[in-house]
Amino acid sequence: MPNNLPNNANLKKVSPTRPSRPTFEKYVDPEGELTAQKFKFDLWYVKNKVLLFRLSIISLIVFSLINFVYSIGTFGNYLLFGVEVDKNLSVDSSYFPSYDNINSKYTAAPLQVVEVSVLPSSKGKVDLIAEIANPNDKFLVLFDFYFTVGGVDTKIGHSFILPGTTNLITILGFDSGSSGSGASIAITNVQWQRISGHEIIDTVGWQKERLNFVASNLEFTGISVNPESPNANVIRFKIFNNSSYSYKNAGFLVGLYRDQALVGVAPLLLDEFNSQELKEIDLRNVAENLYVNQIKLYPQINVYNSEVFLPPPH
């Protein structure tokens, strides 16, 4: 009988295949209302809802404890120190503060009158001289002035004093019958001009650099021994411009001294005074019984005015 069964040698074994496990990541909502990403988050939230609730409760408890401890510490600090501080503030607020010390840094101190002198001039006349100091090293001062001698007022003059310097203020040849009486000076129309610290830091040093004049070789011949001019004293000296600046109409007051005592003043005006120039000066003074062995230069040059300088040579 013929064998119709297949040969086992020609048969292949077929292992059964396990169906793939379904996963929600591959889920596609046909209606598009629930995406896989949202479904995944909602599933995670449901699984961890209790844990999240517990964590939030623990966080609130920790936050409350921290605030409670901080509040207790702040209140305790106030009881220990704050009560006393409040008492001191209450006492301090009952006093009105004085701003004088603060204002003094930003406002100018008044001019200081060092000395006022009445010195003999020509016959029947006197020279009125005031030595005035500007104590402010950041303020240039311009002002009007007049003297009062024996109840008589002089004409009004105008002058200035550079920051941090002392200058002579004069009315020369005043006709007064009270030459031996004292005098006083009145200063009016005071104008303060602040010097910017951004432009000039050291005003006094800046001024000395520009007003570096040296007087030397003083020769004084009194009236009694002056054959050239029997009615005048002769004051000769040399003046050297030791600065790097040249000036036009350079004015000076030459203080005449017997030792340390001021005995007279002589005005001096130089039309041009160039840098490093030496000039020989010859002055006359008609005051009787005058003796001079020292002089001091008081420049009447406002170096903050650019018009006083000569332009540099070409």
Helix/strand/coil (H/E/C) assignment for every residue in the chain: CCCCCCCHHHCCCCCCCCCCCCCHHHCCCCCCCCCHHHHHHHHHHHHHHHHHHHHHHHHHHHHHHHHHHHHHHHHHHHHHHHHHHHHHHHHHCCCCCCCHHHHCCCCCCCCEEEEEEEEECCCCEEEEEEEEECCCCCEEEEEEEEEEECCEECCCEEEEECCCCEEEEEEEEEECCCCCCCEEEEEEEEEEEECCCCCCCCHHHHHHHHCCEEEEEEEEECHHHCCCCCCCEEEEEEEEECCCCCEEEEEEEEEEEECCEEEEEEEEEEEEECCCCEEEEEEEECCCCCCCCEEEEEECCCCCCHHHECCCCC
Residue 180: pLDDT above 60? no
As beta bridge partners, residue 127 has 119
State the pLDDT at residue 276: 96
| Residue that wins the pLDDT comparison between 40 and 72 | 72
For residue 198, the tally of other CB atoms under 10 A from its CB is 6
State the pLDDT at residue 175: 87
Average pLDDT over residues 22-30: 60
Say how far apart CA 237 and CA 270 lie, in whole Å: 14
Say how far apart CA 26 and CA 34 lie, in whole Å: 12
* C-alpha torsion 234→235→240→241, nearest 10: -100
| Residue that wins the pLDDT comparison between 261 and 99 | 261
State the pLDDT at residue 98: 67
State the pLDDT at residue 227: 56
State the pLDDT at residue 194: 94
How far, rounded to the nearest angstrom, does the alpha carbon of residue 207 sit from its chain's CA centroid? Answer: 17
| Residue that wins the pLDDT comparison between 163 and 89 | 163
Prediction pTM value: 0.66
**Mean of pLDDT over the chain:** 85
State the pLDDT at residue 85: 81
State the pLDDT at residue 209: 96
Residue 302: pLDDT above 60? yes
State the pLDDT at residue 124: 82
Say how far apart CA 136 and CA 5 lie, in whole Å: 133
* pLDDT level of residue 25 (50, 70, 90 thresholds): low
CA distances in angstroms from 95 to 40, 91, 92, listed in the order given: 72, 7, 6
State the pLDDT at residue 151: 85
* pLDDT level of residue 204 (50, 70, 90 thresholds): very high
Say how far apart CA 188 and CA 159 lie, in whole Å: 11
Q: What is the pLDDT of residues 181-195, one digit of tens each?
A: 689 999 999 999 999
State the pLDDT at residue 272: 95
First to last CA, the chain: 145
Spell 214-240 as b/e; 16+ CB within 10 A means b: ebeeeebbebeeeeeeeebbbbebebe
* pLDDT level of residue 18 (50, 70, 90 thresholds): low
State the pLDDT at residue 123: 82
Q: What is the pLDDT of residues 115-152, one digit of tens each?
A: 999 998 888 889 999 999 999 999 999 999 999 998 88
Average pLDDT over residues 269-280: 96
